[in-house]
Amino acid sequence: MKPLAFLLLLPVAGYAAEQSVQYSVRGLFQPERKVALSNAARALENCRLVEVDYDTARATFTYDDDAQGFKKAKPEQILQQIDTQIRKLTNSTFTLLQPGTLPETGLKRIDFTIEGLDCLGCSYGAYSAVAALEGVDRATASFRDGRLTAFIDPAKTSREALAEVLKKKEIKVVEASAKQEPQPKN
């Protein structure tokens, strides 16, 4: 029995294991952007996109840890390798980052109604104004709804800080009237 067990393991021993990693995705500001990321990822070398979760702005990739660019690579080098390819394939409209460490329940949802948010470019401008701020886990901007939503770490940023950066970018936030509509829940 022992020789048989050895022979069954022999073919497997020559192959490296496929590894899986998950990263936050900047640039995933509207549901349709999932398709853009998936289409671009078809051209990835030595790795592949497995899943995109729009609601959490996370993407899962697999790679062969024995493939060029991944062999003996540290976690930060793997992120850099995949991110470099994604940026190149999408003209830097997508960026990969390590996911935040704050659990979902610790994030605070902030919503803004934006005046003049009427096209994809405007949505991207509003999104990019807040997405890069420290403490912003993820954000979305919908020209269909005229709304920007950000999920923040309240210990690192605030609604006021987001409003200020939008103002600096000359993006007009519509102030809530005396009678506020109820905010959607996390």
* 123 and 85 part of one domain: no
* 92 and 121 part of one domain: no
CA Rg, the chain, in Å? 21
Asked if 114 and 141 touch (Cβ cutoff 8 Å), the reply is: yes
Q: How far is CA 32 from CA 7, 27, 120, in A?
A: 49, 11, 10
Predicted confidence at residue 10, as pLDDT, reads 42
Domain assignment of residue 186, yes or no: no
Predicted confidence at residue 27, as pLDDT, reads 94
Last residue of a domain, one of 65, 97, 129: 97
* 24 and 93 part of one domain: yes
Residue that has been written with the tokens 């497995």 in this structure? 50
Predicted confidence at residue 70, as pLDDT, reads 92
The DSSP H or E segment spanning 60 is: strand 58-64
Asked if 124 and 117 touch (Cβ cutoff 8 Å), the reply is: no
* 62 and 130 part of one domain: no
Q: Mind listing the pLDDT tens digit for each residue in 97-155?
A: 999 888 889 999 999 999 988 888 889 999 999 998 999 999 999 988 899 999 999 99
Predicted confidence at residue 117, as pLDDT, reads 85
Q: Which domain holds residue 50?
A: 17-97
Q: Which two tokens stand for residue 129?
A: 């104004």
**Residue 71, beta-bridge partner list:** none
Q: Mind listing the pLDDT tens digit for each residue in 37-62?
A: 999 999 999 999 999 999 999 999 99
**92/19 Cα distance (integer angstroms):** 25
- The structural domain count of the chain equals 2
CATH number, position 82:
3.30.70.100
The candidate with the shortest Cα–Cα distance to 13, out of 1, 5, 2, is 5
The candidate with the shortest Cα–Cα distance to 104, out of 170, 21, 24, is 24
Last residue of a domain, one of 74, 97, 120: 97
173-174/95-97 β-pairing: unpaired
* 90 and 153 part of one domain: no
pTM: 0.79
Predicted confidence at residue 16, as pLDDT, reads 57
Q: Mind listing the pLDDT tens digit for each residue in 3-33?
A: 444 444 444 444 457 899 999 999 999 999 9
* 64 and 130 part of one domain: no
Domain assignment of residue 63, yes or no: yes
Label residue 91 by pLDDT band (50, 70, 90): very high
Last residue of a domain, one of 82, 97, 112: 97
* 143 and 160 part of one domain: yes
Q: Which two tokens stand for residue 17?
A: 């294991």
* 145 and 82 part of one domain: no
Domain assignment of residue 9, yes or no: no
Predicted confidence at residue 68, as pLDDT, reads 87
More confident position, 25 or 177: 25
What contacts 71, CB < 8 A, 6 or more positions away? Answer: 65
The candidate with the shortest Cα–Cα distance to 141, out of 157, 156, 129, 158, is 129
* 90 and 108 part of one domain: no
Question: What interhelical angle do 120-131 and 159-168 show, nearest 10?
Answer: 130
